[in-house]
Each structure stands twice: as structure tokens, then as C-alpha cells.
Amino acid sequence: MIDKPELDEAFQDAIGTIRDCRAAGMICVDGSSAVANLDQLEKELLDERNRASERGSIDREWFQKTMRWLVEWIPETDMSLIAALGKIARAKPSTAS
């Protein structure tokens, strides 16, 4: 668990949003299944949550790279994942690693 409750909560909310999107059968903007991307995003969030727990903050470069990748495949009609990742960024100032 991360020492900062708001950051831990933001990660938990984002992971929950990923699972909701998977359960809803989200598709990518190109019409393909988003399951592989959602699985990868969940793994990335779990890994970064562990690293952030050690550092006390998220890695700005990781966040920017992840957000750019996310907007490449997420459908324009569903901004829930972008909002969930935004909550992580707002929870605690990020630092470069």
C-alpha cells in the first residue's frame, strides 16, 4: 500500500475502471477487442503502484508515455480511463525518475 492514501485510492479506482471496461467488452477505436490493451494497462498500473509506493510518487515519464499510448487506442466515446489516470496524476505531484 502507498503511504499517500489519495494516491493509493487513485490507483485502485483506475484498476477498477479497467476491470469495468473489460467486463463491458470495450473495443478499441479501430473496432478490435480492447482486452489485450486493458490487460497491459492493468499490469502497468499494478507495477507503477508498487514503484510509486517505494518512491512516494508516480514517475512523470511513465505517466506521459502511458497516457499517449492510451489515447491511441481508446474509443472517443469513453473517457473513463483517461479520467482515472488523470486522478492518479492529480493525487500527488509526479517526479521524473
From the DSSP assignment, how many helices (H) and strands (E) are in the chain?
A: 4, 0
Q: What is the mean pLDDT of residues 19-27?
A: 96
The count of C-alpha atoms lying within 13 angstroms of the C-alpha of 92, restricted to the half-sphere facing its C-beta, is 21
Tell me: pLDDT of 3 over 60. no
- Determine the angle formed by the axes of helices 5-23 and 80-91, rounding to 10 degrees: 170
The pLDDT confidence band at residue 6, using thresholds 50, 70 and 90, is confident
Distance CA 73, CA 32 (A): 9
Residue 96: predicted pLDDT: 52
Q: With 50 as the cut, is the pLDDT of residue 72 above it? A: yes
Q: Where are the domains of the chain?
A: 5-90
This prediction has a pTM of 0.88
Average pLDDT of the residues of the chain: 90
